[in-house]
Amino acid sequence: MSNANPDVRMIEALQGDGKGPPEPDLQPVAGDERIAVAPTIQALTPYEAVSSQAAIEAQPDHHTSFKLDWNESTVAPSPRVSEAIADYLHNGRGLNWYPKLGSEDLIEALEEYTGVSGDHLLATNGSDDALRLICSTFLDDRDEVVIPVPTYNHFMVFAQSRGAEVVTTRGQSAFDPNLQGIASAISDRTRLLYLVSPNNPTGVMYPPEVVARLCREYPKTLIVLDEAYYEFTKVTGIGLVEQFSNLMVTRTFSKAFGLAGLRVGYLAAAPSLIEGLSRIYNPKSVNTLGQVGAIAALNDLEYLESFLAEVRASKEILAKFFQERDVNARLTPANFVILRMPDVDAILQQLEERGVYVRNRSSYPGLEGCLRMTVGTTAQTERLLDRIGDLF
């Protein structure tokens, strides 16, 4: 019998007798019989991803707006990025193949950039993917996770989705590193400690000596150090992953490198931890153009340093502006500032009327009445202050 016969019979069965489509045997599922979301996920409070992008793009003059709400780079990435991507699209093997598995070329470039050997590195689809992967690999039902707040809330969602119990700790103010509170919160049940340095949205930092001490004092706790804003400070604990087997450092190309649209990140950890992650890691998770673009960005660090210098100079301009107007402003080590306003909702509305979009952080503990604003180049900052100077 030919191998084609079963396929022919299947096609005939699906087509019926040729007089019309066969009557379906399946009945629609009633509304109250829909498949429910897993109870662990139902209990989650979703991460609040509020962006001004749609509102800006809906405006005819959207190119003149200031998108300062998501701490993205305010300039395009290095020209080498678009050149490398264009060259790949023209001369490469095309997009019909999967990306290079494990991002091997990117890992090689990251070895030189980070000073960490490749067996300690893993490329991911943005640092959010790294954080999700960590939680999926190392957390299980009722594991305890300690998180000093306020901080980046999406990690909390990743942890709780695994059924973990999140223990939050607060200092006397939102800008307190709260090391004593962190120590008090960690117990024998603590599986993971999450630190962001510099912290989003407060700018609080955890220097390498503090991270090393925590690694030594809590050897059974996995310490995750989120360094999404590392480039703006150059203070890092990444070298410690070669010393401590309970430390993981995550980074991204979405901030200082300006590659938010390509979604490229990476993590550094001991090979034993990398091996654990590899059990569920998708080696094709970083898309081809993301790999090409990230490598090109790493090959133009002069462009990066130029932008970082602009951000530092802009913060000096902002410091003077707010000080002269007696505005309660905190300039963080990263690329954003925090403003505390007496009527935050009114200020938000007036800023948006002027085409300036910032992030309301009032819902965070200790940040009542606070706005977070991304810092750009000096030219952008001068134009921004011309537009909003009458509000302060």
Residue length of the chain = 392
Same domain for 292 and 347? no
Q: What is the mean pLDDT of residues 336-355?
A: 95
Q: 232: domain CATH number?
A: 3.40.640.10
Secondary structure element (H or E) that encloses residue 195, with its range: strand 190-196
Average pLDDT, the chain: 91
Q: Which of 18-22, 47-51, 359-363 ranks highest by mean pLDDT?
A: 359-363
For residue 97, is pLDDT > 70?
A: yes
- Output the pLDDT for position 47: 63
Is position 19 within any domain?
A: no
Task: Give the end of a domain, one of 299, 330, 364.
Answer: 299
pLDDT reading at 24 higher than 60:
no
Do 177 and 112 have their domain in common?
yes
Domain shared by 107 and 255, yes or no: yes
HSE on the CB side for 21, CA within 13 Å?
3
What is the average pLDDT across 64-76?
93
Residue 363, domain CATH: 3.90.1150.10
| CA-closest candidate to residue 265, choices 302, 300, 230 | 230
pLDDT recorded at residue 157: 95
Residue among 216, 215, 211 nearest 226 (CA): 211
Report d(CA 254, CA 112) in Å as an integer.
19
228 lies in the same domain as 357:
no
Q: Is the pLDDT of residue 131 over 80?
A: yes
Residue 71's pLDDT band (boundaries 50, 70, 90)? very high
Percent of the chain topping pLDDT 90: 82
Domain boundary among 234, 268, 299: 299
Q: Quick one: 234 and 87 in the same domain?
A: yes
In a shared domain, residues 251 and 333: no
Q: Is 167 helix (H, G, I), strand (E, B) or coil?
A: strand
Q: Is residue 295 part of a domain?
A: yes
Residues 323 and 370 occupy one common structural domain = yes
- Distance of alpha carbon 388 from alpha carbon 123, whole angstroms: 40
- 188 and 70 assigned to the same domain: no
Q: Exposure pattern of 222-253 as b/e (b: 16+ CB <10 Å)?
A: bbbbbbbbbbbbeebbbebbbebebbbbbbbb
Indicate whether 370 belongs to any domain: yes
For 170-180, the pLDDT digits (tens) are: 999 999 999 99
Sign of CA dihedral 368, 147, 126, 129: negative
Same domain, 282 and 322: no
- Looking at residue 229, what is its pLDDT? 98
Answer with the one of 299, 330, 352 that is the final residue of a domain.
Answer: 299
- 14 assigned to some structural domain: no
Residue 276 has pLDDT above 90, yes or no: yes
Q: Are residues 126 and 217 in the same domain?
A: yes
Whether residues 125 and 261 fall in one domain: yes
Crossing angle for the helix pair 104-114 and 288-298, to the nearest 10 degrees: 30
pLDDT, mean of residues 18-33: 59
Q: How many domains does the chain have?
A: 2
Q: Is residue 224 part of a domain?
A: yes
Summarize the confidence of residues 282-288 as an average pLDDT: 97
Q: What are phi and psi of 259, to 5 degrees?
A: -110, 35
Q: What is the CA radius of gyration of the chain?
A: 25
- Please, how many CA atoms are within 13 Å of residue 17, restricted to the half-sphere of its CB? 2
Residue 309 lies inside a defined structural domain of this protein: yes
Long-range contacts at 57-63 (CB < 8 A, ≥ 24 apart): 59/355, 61/355
Report yes or no on 124 lying in a domain: yes
Q: What is the pLDDT of residue 8?
A: 47
User: d(Cα 314, Cα 332) in Å, to the nearest integer?
Assistant: 12
Residue 147 · residue 160 · CB < 8 Å: no
Q: Which residues contact 175 (CB under 8 A, 6 or more apart)?
A: 202, 203, 204, 330, 366
141 phi, psi to nearest 5 deg: -55, 125
User: Hunting for tokens 């309301």 — which residue is that?
Assistant: 360
pLDDT of 373 over the 70 cut:
yes
> Quick one: 311 and 291 in the same domain?
no
Domain that holds residue 96: 80-299
Please give the model's pTM, rounded to 2 decimal places.
Answer: 0.88
| pLDDT tens figures, 140-149 | 999 999 999 9
